[in-house]
Amino acid sequence: MSTEALLLDAALRTWNANLDRASKLFEGLSEEHLQQEIAPGKNRLIYLWGHLTAVNDALLPLWGFGPRLHPELDEVFIKHPDRAKPTPSAAELKQNWQEINAALNPAIFKLTPAEWTDRHTAVSPEDFLREPHRNRFNVLLSRTNHLAYHLGQAIGRS
């Protein structure tokens, strides 16, 4: 296996491990437990889960895998703080989470190492020539860290 393939494999394994941990954690919590705050006056667990769901949904078009499945989640979990808008039920959020990740994960494992170094859709070809680090792989690394950060918050409270 090439060095590039080994690095990609490690990154994808880390992404998948964090995604599995998040699924097991959030899907295993009751509706009541999901209403708990991660710290006094901070986001609730359901808000963290919704936020991660919306962020994963945004990866579909960013990586060129197709349109978002649930762009309406942005209104609740990206554009506004917790409690500013009514949140979906745990059952709805679980269905959204599973649907989005079922579309996202198979697609990411089909990309070659070279395709991971291609630009993502939020950067123009001209900007990418100047900034080749603005590629899919860099987004994978940052989103994996983002997922791990919020998972750590949730684990600390659950």
> Please, which pLDDT band fits residue 66 given cuts at 50, 70 and 90?
very high
The arithmetic mean of pLDDT across residues 66-91, rounded, is: 97
Residue 54 has pLDDT above 80, yes or no: yes
Domain boundaries, the chain: 3-157
Is the alpha carbon torsion for 93, 70, 150, 11 positive or negative? positive
| pLDDT reported for residue 1 | 84
Q: Which of 96, 60, 61 is nearest to 76 (CA)?
A: 96
| pLDDT reported for residue 126 | 97
The CATH number of 3-157 is: 1.20.120.450
Q: Residues near 14 by Cβ (< 8 Å), separated by ≥ 6?
A: 144
Q: Which of 36, 31, 37 is nearest to 94 (CA)?
A: 31
pLDDT in tens, 129-154: 999 999 999 999 999 999 999 999 99
Residue 61 has pLDDT above 70, yes or no: yes
Check if the beta carbon of residue 97 is closer than 8 Å to that of residue 54. no
